[in-house]
Amino acid sequence: MSNIKGFIIDLDGVITETSEYHFQGWKRLAEEEGIEFTREDNEQLRGVSRSRSLEILLGDKIDDYSDEEFQEMMDRKNGYYQSFLDDMDDDDLLPGARELLDEIKERGLKMAIASSSRNAKRVLNSLDISDEFDAIADGHSVEDAKPAPDIFLHAAKEIGLKPEECVVLEDAESGIDAAIAAEMIAVGVGPEERVGHGDYRFDSTADIDLEKIL
């Protein structure tokens, strides 16, 4: 008999895909600051907090900016990103996402979102799925972002479960690292080279096999 009682799900890359919006936001900021920024560079920002993402983007130039300028750039990028979110709706659910949520619920398991994004609730509202989850942990919930386990431990506490009773669905290397650190079952969604170090891996959300995990 499985000990699993709940699923903790990353939002971006598992339920929906806003990475293109993030990329366009960071790219516009980088261009304004005279910094080259490619899609390959953007891969380094997957699953990473906004402040850490800006640190990576600025690289050696980070010392050229004051704390106030750093904060202004984070706010500027977030403004660009949020302008893209206004056009989202339930058509932006990834293939298989709705079926995944329905199956987890049918099995009587708890569900929580654990996203590094501070915009997670806004995205969930745009997708019209906020009510599907028993708890929402986002960038406001904890101080230390993934790969620290804090956001997953917080989500588990919010749904009243022990870490060993939880499965994490993640598309980022840092998220898999965080799930392992939290001592939860880590399920990667994406390519082997990025999330293959979890307990299970599926190519996409549509490929997730709950029977195999449970």
Ordered mean pLDDT values, 10 residues apiece, the chain (214 residues): 90 91 95 96 87 95 96 96 89 97 98 93 94 96 93 98 98 96 98 96 98 96
The SS3 assignment for 20 reads: helix
Active site residue 12: yes
- Show Cβ contacts of residue 191 under 8 Å, excluding neighbours closer than 6 positions: 203
122 is in an annotated binding site: no
The SS3 assignment for 94 reads: coil
Task: Give the pLDDT score at 85.
Answer: 87
125 is in an annotated binding site: no
Q: How far apart are CA 156 and CA 194, in angstroms?
A: 24
Q: CATH 1.10.150.240 in the chain, residues?
A: 19-85
Active site residue 86: no
CATH number listed for the domain at residues 6-16+92-213: 3.40.50.1000
Q: Which entry of 12, 138, 150, 177 is annotated as an active-site residue? A: 12
Q: Which entry of 10, 138, 150, 177 is annotated as an active-site residue? A: 10
Task: Give the pLDDT score at 1.
Answer: 43
64 is in an annotated binding site: no
**First vs last C-alpha separation in the chain:** 9
Return the H-helix or E-strand segment holding 100. helix 97-106
Q: CATH 3.40.50.1000 in the chain, residues?
A: 6-16+92-213
5 is in an annotated binding site: no
Task: Give the pLDDT score at 168.
Answer: 98
45 is in an annotated binding site: yes
Beta-sheet strands, E only, within 19-175: 110-114, 135-137, 166-170
204 is in an annotated binding site: no
CATH architecture of 19-85: Orthogonal Bundle (1.10)
CA angle 172, 177, 181 (to 5 degrees): 145
Q: How far apart are CA 53 and CA 213, in angstroms?
A: 32
